[in-house]
């Protein structure tokens, strides 16, 4: 089902690109349209080289300092997608590619993709759940837990894995 949707969206995208290309060619002429396409591709290569290098540098710096690389990794992905869209012929792809490549406008595609992905996640995977609880029992001294008649509560159980077995914390 997902593959069918992707193919349908890709076909609609290509059709829209062709319609816009023909409209631009009718407006400014075929020669100028081809030159504009080549200029947009050259601009895409230049922006991809500059922004891609910056994104990889940010990722390397975060890896070196062991910082969380979530946003930098997302930016690197957006730069790669934006560069690809700019290099491929088509004016709609160039506009979306510019939004992904330029640092000032990268927040818009990041926000849209984040909302799209968040809406597709199952409820149990949508991030932290905030629970408010009320303690109903007494807590022993120094956080030792509840006590019954002055003795600690004992929960009986059985060891399922022994030390040294696979999956146990030996």
Per-residue pLDDT, 128: 66
The more confidently predicted of residues 99 and 56 is 99
Per-residue pLDDT, 25: 92
Per-residue pLDDT, 59: 83
Rounded to whole angstroms, the Cα distance separating 87 from 41 reads 4
Q: Over 90: is that where the pLDDT of 19 sits? A: yes
Per-residue pLDDT, 27: 93
Q: Over 60: is that where the pLDDT of 105 sits? A: yes
Per-residue pLDDT, 94: 92
Per-residue pLDDT, 20: 93
Comparing 27-41, 101-115, 119-133, the range with the smallest average pLDDT is 119-133
Rounded to whole angstroms, the Cα distance separating 9 from 87 reads 20
Whether pTM exceeds 0.75: no
Average pLDDT, the chain: 80
Query: DSSP string covering 16-51, please?
Result: HHHHHHHHHHHHH-HHHHHHHHHHHHHHHHHHHHHH
Per-residue pLDDT, 151: 64
- Mind listing the pLDDT tens digit for each residue in 111-125? 888 888 888 777 766
Cβ–Cβ under 8 Å, residues 61 and 15: no
Chain centroid to CA 80: how far?
13
Q: Over 60: is that where the pLDDT of 2 sits? A: yes
131 pLDDT tier (thresholds 50, 70, 90): low
Q: What percent of the chain has pLDDT over 90?
A: 25
Per-residue pLDDT, 116: 85
Rounded to whole angstroms, the Cα distance separating 45 from 103 reads 16
Which long-range contacts link 22-26 to residues 24+ away (Cβ below 8 Å)? 24/91
């Amino acid at each position: 089902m997902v593959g069918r949707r992707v193919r349908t969206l890709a076909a609609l995208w290509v059709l829209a690109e062709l319609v816009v290309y023909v409209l631009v060619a009718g407006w400014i002429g075929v020669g100028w349209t081809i030159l504009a396409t080549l200029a947009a591709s050259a601009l895409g290569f230049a922006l991809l080289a500059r922004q891609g290098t910056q994104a990889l540098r940010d990722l390397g710096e975060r890896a070196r300092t062991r910082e969380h690389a979530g946003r930098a990794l997302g930016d690197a992905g957006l730069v790669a997608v934006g560069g690809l869209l700019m290099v491929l012929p088509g004016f709609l792809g160039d506009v979306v590619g510019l939004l992904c490549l330029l640092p000032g406008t990268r927040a818009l595609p990041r926000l849209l993709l984040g909302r799209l992905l968040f809406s597709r996640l199952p409820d149990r995977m949508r991030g932290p759940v905030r629970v408010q609880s009320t303690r109903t029992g007494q807590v022993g001294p120094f956080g030792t837990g509840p006590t019954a008649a002055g003795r600690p509560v004992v929960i009986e159980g059985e060891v399922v894995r022994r030390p040294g077995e696979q999956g146990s914390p030996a």
